[in-house]
Structure 1
């Protein structure tokens, strides 16, 4: 265990890298329009900038335990920092869209390793009795990163040019690489680990993981834009997902030295429950961060920077609360008590947001609900993580950490895909539902039309022009009202999903205060 100055330098280094990785999952979203113009790309093409990074992330995360043991954790971490930094520079230098997509994939390979391995390094830095504090610091990055991405991205896009969303990673990456060389050390178990000969590595398991998880992530990222199963492309990759995932599960359960040991799920009931709850956490975290900026910018006309500023206080509250929640767990407050409270608070946030959705809503209307969201997430991440890994040791803990990380990422992808699909399809259904309330034979509609026509004629339009403009304005009002209903329904859907998960907590085996969690292998 490290102490004093060295300990906190390591903390700063790994939390910084974790934040970088997660910020990059969302920072590009606000720059896609500018990229389309500068790189002469279509909306379909530019969506691969987001998809390629996410696909690389979700492939690498479950393999980090194996890779760190095979090459040494410090070496693997240093390589990942350097790869992420160089890929960030290359992204900013890209001259066409497919160059950018390729470099984003490479950046995602480095980034996935940063998040997963940062958790292990933090845990090794703290003594066992401070486990919850180490997890809390890691959780700060997981919760804050995706939330402040749009804030930082919006500021950069508004004041500079899109390549700078990648260039800002470079000085931080260089500093992290220097600190890694100087301060981070491998634990004894990693130093003494027997490296597998090339021929004994589970290459089939790696191939099936890449095929199955990569295809699944691609389907989730591109499904909505390709009209889901109406597309031969999506159908083909869905088939590859089924083949790859089924083959991967079979291989990892039967191989003597699997690259991802799925058998660890059978060793701990809490890990099995925790894996599902990690999926729910990812779903709520990424879905809410995805839908709120869209509402603010499409309906309320906020800039990307304004939207990010609204999200920031809740993210900061999450970060502030993490160590407090960690101390509470350390003092013996059961996760079985904290988790239901977190789920209920997240439901209240979602319900509250559904009531605040209106065409006249302002920044102040969302301040307290988003603070509540931040508080609720802080009550979910740390209890789920500590409960999932309690009682595991050595390789089992490393495999468990990688699995829960991958599942959390997939939960986020499912959340974004589901919300995006619901938004597009339900908006039109809601429009059809509202149409019977609008009829030219209805006195209220006639009165509204007459008022609009008179208004446009007063601005110089003749009667026919004013009538066409009035119809267009009425259609605009209808679509705006339809969108408001849909956004409200989405928040209620997310909240209800969280509420329905509470009974699962009854399956959790109580974790005794101070129960050992050996995360020396947790990558």
Structure 2
């Protein structure tokens, strides 16, 4: 009886089942980061109340995580050279779990922000580490089994996060959100230990890394730049530019830090991020499409959550159920792409189709923004947007990295994940800023239409409160509808650009 051909030629000792389990472990490691971000987004209001933080103070807990994640991605390749990507993953999971426990023990916004920074430093580099391991462990034609498990762990399981978070917050204290995150980190660490091949073991222990050899100038410049830039983008939701124009200076200062960091890296003999490897035309075009997707995704997530709860009055649990349903639809589309991507021809055309789907979803929602709109009315449009994942993310990913060797891939993917954090924050900030201005304008117009003649018998306090709430709801719906309409037009323009560009094909 002849032995079947191994799925991974570089690891012939691994059985087929083991290979699929490794892919699932890679996805679960990535999911630790995604779970932390998704649960924080869904349960943010409850957590903010638990630590008695103002919205401005609570913002630091969001940006400290993202900034620490940027630093983790920056240090990834350098640390993996000493402790391997397997060792980096194990260390990251341990730090992320410890950070989650610290979050659960936090009593105020300062403690929570510091704890989230620890969690972000551990979890922030896991996505890039997992993708680089796939590049190292398998030849291009052998990666599908790994990607199947990776998609299940990073998208399928994470799609459950909104629903689980809503259930958890409604039935327990806010601390349980972080207890669950810590438990997920621990279980994933055990899973990684049991499945990852031994050839990825560390060359030295994490505590043996020579920290004196670290490029601390880059760490400080990029870390500070990320924190200032991300916090400045997030701050846009709390201030109006007309009354506080200085709020724009903060993101600009962050960009200055980034420019100084890359100027330093350009002259470094062994840069952690090699700028020369990041200037290829295919990579820059792919990175642009990446940034556009994450920007729009950050914007979309913020607006949809605001629409469902603030505009349509859905309960926290209903909102979680809707977001999980659309996430599972996106996961199904991603799995279909994993099995059928070889059948797609005319790459630019399919990227354009993805953005046209996005445009159609946004336009349908813009037409359905009215009080009393049911889930049945909204779900088809939301589901259409979730179907865009394989077209405008996975397809771009496969094309962007086509010409990269393993070492260059590590440089590029580090930088890609740094861009992901910034683009997502930028999308959220812009969405919040738009809704602020839009709601003010809509509220002013709605109030102007209310006259004393509408209440000839006068109006009591109860009726006044009801009217005020109705105007606020209508203002949110009008502002959201306008933003969706603008987003639809923008996606059509991006689709046209995708068709005429020649770098990704």
TM-score, normalised via structure 2 length: 0.88
Structure 1 residue 321: deviation in Å?
1.8
> What are the residue-to-residue correspondences of 1:90-101 with 2, within 5 Å?
90-101=102-113
- Contact kept, 8 Å, 1:278 with 1:408, in 2: the verdict is yes
The reply to whether residue 449 of structure 1 matches residue 455 of structure 2 is yes
Deviation per residue, 1:332-357 (Å, 9 max, x gap) = 63432321111111110111111111
Q: Of residues 296, 300, 307 in structure 1, which corresponds to 2:319?
A: 307
CA–CA distance in structure 1, aligned partners of residues 159 and 310 of structure 2: 19
1:243: which partner in 2?
Answer: 256
Q: Of residues 416, 422, 430 in structure 1, which corresponds to 2:428?
A: 416
Bigger Rg, structure 1 or 2? 1
Instruction: Give 3-state SS (helix, strand or coil) of 1:308's partner.
Output: helix
2:502: which partner in 1?
Answer: 508
Structure 1 residue 377: deviation in Å?
2.0
CA–CA distance in structure 2, aligned partners of residues 5 and 133 of structure 1: 10
Q: Of residues 483, 491, 495 in structure 2, which corresponds to 1:498?
A: 491
Aligned length: 489
Q: Of residues 319, 333, 338 in structure 1, which corresponds to 2:350?
A: 338
Q: Describe the shift of the 1:408–1:137 C-alpha distance in structure 2 as closer, same or farther (beyond 3 A).
A: farther
- Contact kept, 8 Å, 1:137 with 1:323, in 2: the verdict is no
Instruction: Give 3-state SS (helix, strand or coil) of 2:107's partner.
Output: coil
2:180: which partner in 1?
Answer: 168
2:296: which partner in 1?
Answer: 284
1:400: which partner in 2?
Answer: 412
Deviation per residue, 1:349-392 (Å, 9 max, x gap) = 11111111110111111121121111112322111111110111
Structure 1 residue 139: deviation in Å?
5.3
Structure 1 residue 320: deviation in Å?
1.6
1:489: which partner in 2?
Answer: 482
The reply to whether residue 479 of structure 1 matches residue 505 of structure 2 is no
2:268: which partner in 1?
Answer: 255
Deviation per residue, 1:427-472 (Å, 9 max, x gap) = 11223344554444xxxxx3x434xx5xxxxxxxxxx5x3555555
CA–CA distance in structure 2, aligned partners of residues 257 and 504 of structure 1: 37
Instruction: Give 3-state SS (helix, strand or coil) of 2:124's partner.
Output: helix
2:5: which partner in 1?
Answer: none
- Contact kept, 8 Å, 2:135 with 2:406, in 1: the verdict is no
Q: Describe the shift of the 1:420–1:179 C-alpha distance in structure 2 as closer, same or farther (beyond 3 A).
A: same
> What are the residue-to-residue correspondences of 1:329-478 with 2, within 5 Å?
329-331=341-343, 333-440=345-452, 446=453, 448-450=454-456, 453=457, 466-467=459-460, 469-478=462-471
CA–CA distance in structure 2, aligned partners of residues 63 and 228 of structure 1: 36
CA–CA distance in structure 1, aligned partners of residues 146 and 345 of structure 2: 17
Deviation per residue, 1:296-337 (Å, 9 max, x gap) = 112322222210111222211221221321333334634323
CA–CA distance in structure 2, aligned partners of residues 332 and 481 of structure 1: 43
TM-score, normalised via structure 1 length: 0.85
150-159 vs 414-423, which deviates more? 150-159
> What are the residue-to-residue correspondences of 1:75-86 with 2, within 5 Å?
75-86=87-98
1:271: which partner in 2?
Answer: 283
Deviation per residue, 1:115-136 (Å, 9 max, x gap) = 2212223444544214356456
CA–CA distance in structure 1, aligned partners of residues 502 and 418 of structure 2: 21
Q: Describe the shift of the 1:374–1:34 C-alpha distance in structure 2 as closer, same or farther (beyond 3 A).
A: closer
Structure 1 residue 234: deviation in Å?
4.3
Structure 2 gap segments, 5+ residues each: 1-7, 9-13
336-345 vs 167-176, which deviates more? 167-176
Instruction: Give 3-state SS (helix, strand or coil) of 1:223's partner.
Output: helix
CA–CA distance in structure 1, aligned partners of residues 147 and 478 of structure 2: 39
Q: Describe the shift of the 1:170–1:199 C-alpha distance in structure 2 as closer, same or farther (beyond 3 A).
A: closer
- Contact kept, 8 Å, 1:201 with 1:259, in 2: the verdict is no
Structure 1 gap segments, 5+ residues each: 441-445, 454-463, 512-523
